[in-house]
Amino acid sequence: MISPSRLLPLFLLSPTLALTRGFVAYKEKGCNDPLDIWSDGVQIPNNTLLIDHSIREQGTYAGGRTYENMTFPAAHATGDMDQDAGVQFVYWKIEQPDPGCQYMMMKETPRGWQVLSQMPGDEMLRIAQEGCYYTALAPNDNVITSYCCGRDDCAVAEVEYEHKEAQDTTNGGDPPTCTVKKLYSSSPTVEDGEQIAVTRPQTCEAPPACTHSITQSRQISTAVSHFQSFSWTTEEGIDVSFEAGINFIEQSTIKTGLALNIAQSWMDETGTTLTQTNITAAQEAGRQEVGTVAFYSFTPQYDCWKGDVSCGKDNSGNEKVLENISFCQPRISTTGDPAGVFRMVYTSG
C-alpha cells in the first residue's frame, strides 16, 4: 500500500479559489435541475463537492477530498442492463479550471490506496473545460475529488498513456543475485493495479454508436514495487541503483537487471513464474452516455507478497537488504482473462 506521506507535494490553489470551486450536482444533462446529495447521511451544502486538495498532496488529505457513502435520493436510475444495474444519472456542473489544470472525480476502489497505483481511486471524470458532465454512480459509493496542474503533475492522471516505469541500472558488470530474506505473509493480498485505458476517447452522438470495443490489446505483467530508492557498490565494485517506483517485468522486454533478479527471487519463494496476460478484443466494453466524450478503462487486480530482499554485500562487506519490496502477479479469472474492473471515464475531450 502506498503511504500518503510518500506522495510528492503540489503547489496549492489559492485559499479563496479552493473554497469556491467544486462539482455541483444536477439531475439532467443541461445542469438546470439541482440534485441534493448526501454523504454519510448528512446533506452536502449547496449540492457541491469541493475541489480543494491536489492529486499529489501530502498529509491528511492524501490525493484529494473523500466523500463517503454518497447517496442521491432524487437521481433517476439509468436502466436495468447488467452494466447499469443499481446506477443513477448524476450530472456535474464545473467551472473553468485554471490554465494547465484539470479537475478529477474518482471512485474509491474497494482496497483503498494500493501498492501499484499513485491514484487514490479510479477516475470517473477528468475535466479541463467548464461544462455539464455525466457520471454513473451507485448509492453508497465513496467519491474522491482532486485536481492537478502542469504537465508533470497531471501525468499520473493520464491513464490513457503508459506511465514511465522505475528503472534499475548496473554499471561495470552483472547485477547481484537476490534472495527473499523476510516474508511478511505467506498468503498474498489482493491489490488493485494502475487504471489503464483500453479504448481511445470517443464522442457519443446517438445510439447505437455509444459502445466501445477493445481494439488494442494492453499487457498486464509481473511487477516489483518499491517506494524507496536504493544504490550501492557491490563487493565486486559494481555500481547498482534501484529507483523508487514500479517495475513491470515483461517477457517482451526482459533483460538482465536488478529488478529481474529481485523478481526471480520472489518467483523462487512463491513458486510462481513470470506472468503476463492481455486485455483482448474479446472483452466488449460498456455503454457510453449520449452527448459525452469518454474512453473505457480497466483496473487489473494483482496477488501481492511483501517482504525484504537480500542482494549480496556492499563493498564494505555489509549485507545489502532492500526492505518493503512488493512482488505482484496478475490475478487470472476463471475464464482465463485478467481479473479486474472495467470503467467508463468521461472527459472534456
Q: Is the pLDDT of residue 268 over 80?
A: yes
3-state secondary structure of 3: coil
Distance CA 230, CA 278 (A): 31
- Closest by CA position to 349, among listed 136, 51, 156, 130: 130
**Mean pLDDT value of segment 318-345:** 91
The grid coordinates listed for 307 are: 517482504
pLDDT digits (tens, 9 = 90+) for 315-327: 999 999 999 999 9
3-state secondary structure of 327: strand
Q: Is the pLDDT of residue 14 over 50?
A: no
Q: What angle do CA 345, 297, 75 make, to 5 degrees?
A: 40
Q: What mean pLDDT value characterizes the chain?
A: 84
Distance CA 349, CA 347 (A): 5
Q: Is the pLDDT of residue 10 over 50?
A: no
φ/ψ of 45, rounded to 5, equals -55, 135
Q: Is the peptide bond before 73 cis (omega within 30 degrees of 0)?
A: no
pLDDT digits (tens, 9 = 90+) for 228-241: 899 999 999 999 98
pLDDT digits (tens, 9 = 90+) for 197-223: 988 898 998 766 687 877 667 788 999
The grid coordinates listed for 53 are: 486538495
- Say which amino acid occupies 238: I
Query: Taking a C-beta distance cutoff of 8 angstroms, is the pair 41, 69 a contact?
Result: yes
pLDDT digits (tens, 9 = 90+) for 242-265: 888 888 887 666 666 888 999 999
In the chain, the largest separation of any two C-alpha atoms, in whole Å, equals: 71
Q: What is the pLDDT of residue 188?
A: 94
pLDDT digits (tens, 9 = 90+) for 19-72: 358 999 999 989 999 999 999 999 999 999 999 999 888 666 778 999 999 999
pLDDT digits (tens, 9 = 90+) for 136-169: 888 899 999 999 999 888 988 898 887 777 778 8
3-state secondary structure of 46: helix
Distance CA 245, CA 222 (A): 14
pLDDT digits (tens, 9 = 90+) for 169-195: 888 788 899 999 999 988 999 999 889
- Closest by CA position to 314, among listed 230, 204, 218, 210: 230
